[in-house]
């Protein structure tokens, strides 16, 4: 059981070190294991595998499992955690982007009318998406004045959208 606990602690140390200086170790590890595939041998994945193998094996031993069964349990748990670590690492590394949002990304967002939108014509709106300020030509079913809050409902072209007014609360009635 002690061996499994030591493996678990070593894995946690590898995970902690990868959080602090992960880029340095990933560079070393990637250079040594170029032929094996990127995310599967990152320090996060190796640390997650080793710690889960150790703690999974320790739990199996403490539950009364014989040595070979504890090893299999540790390997299964370690593989599951390594898979999750690889997925999370890929998700986090791929999250940031400097690309400007496309017109389809503004559907459903709130916008402000910059220039009046006539009944049978176009005006302009400003919408904020993902930290970007975008400006589009806009049409609506009914005329809207500058300053009105609207909701983007569809895309007509890469530079034009349709909008609908935002509903506001009804004023109280005097009954």
Place of tokens 């602090």: 20
Q: State residue 120 phi and psi, 5-degree precision.
A: -120, 40
Query: Which tokens go with 28?
Result: 């070393």
Instruction: Give the integer Cα–Cα distance in Å for 83 and 48.
Output: 9
Instruction: Give the integer Cα–Cα distance in Å for 50 and 134.
Output: 47
Structure confidence at residue 13 (pLDDT): 86
Given a cut of 70, whether residue 171 has pLDDT beyond it is: no
pTM, full prediction: 0.47
Over the stretch 93-136, which tens digit does the pLDDT of each residue have? 655 556 667 788 889 899 999 999 998 889 999 998 877 889 99
Query: Which tokens go with 41?
Result: 């041998």
Structure confidence at residue 28 (pLDDT): 54
DSSP 96-146: ---PPPPGGGGTT-EEEEEE-B-TTS-EEEEEEETTEEEEEEEEESS-B-T
Structure confidence at residue 34 (pLDDT): 45
Over the stretch 68-94, which tens digit does the pLDDT of each residue have? 999 999 899 989 988 888 888 777 665
- Cα dihedral value 30, 35, 38, 43, nearest 10: -40
Instruction: Give the integer Cα–Cα distance in Å for 15 and 25.
Output: 11
Task: Please give the distance of CA 35 from its chain centroid, rounded to a whole number.
Answer: 28
Query: Which tokens go with 56?
Result: 């999974």
Over the stretch 12-69, which tens digit does the pLDDT of each residue have? 888 788 777 755 555 555 444 444 445 556 777 888 888 988 999 999 998 988 889 9
Helix (H, G, I), strand (E, B) or coil at 38: coil
Exposure pattern of 130-169 as b/e (b: 16+ CB <10 Å)? eeeebebbbbbeeebeeebebbbeebeeeebbbbeeeeee
């Amino acid at each position: 059981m002690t061996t499994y606990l030591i493996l678990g602690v070593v894995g946690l140390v590898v995970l902690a070190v990868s959080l602090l200086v992960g880029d340095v170790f990933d560079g070393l590890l990637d250079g040594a294991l170029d032929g094996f595939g990127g995310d599967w041998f990152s320090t996060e994945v190796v640390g997650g595998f080793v710690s889960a193998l150790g703690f999974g094996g320790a739990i199996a031993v403490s539950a009364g499992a014989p040595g070979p069964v504890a090893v299999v349990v540790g390997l299964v748990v370690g593989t599951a955690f390594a898979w999750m670590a690889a997925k999370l690492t890929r998700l986090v590394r791929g999250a940031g982007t400097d690309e400007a949002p496309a017109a389809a990304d503004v559907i459903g967002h709130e916008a402000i009318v910059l220039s009046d939108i006539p009944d049978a014509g176009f005006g302009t709106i400003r919408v904020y998406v993902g930290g970007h300020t975008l400006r589009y030509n806009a049409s609506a079913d009914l005329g809207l004045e500058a300053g009105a809050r609207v909701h983007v409902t569809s895309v007509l072209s890469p530079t034009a959208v349709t909008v609908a007014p935002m509903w506001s609360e009804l004023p109280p009635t005097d009954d």
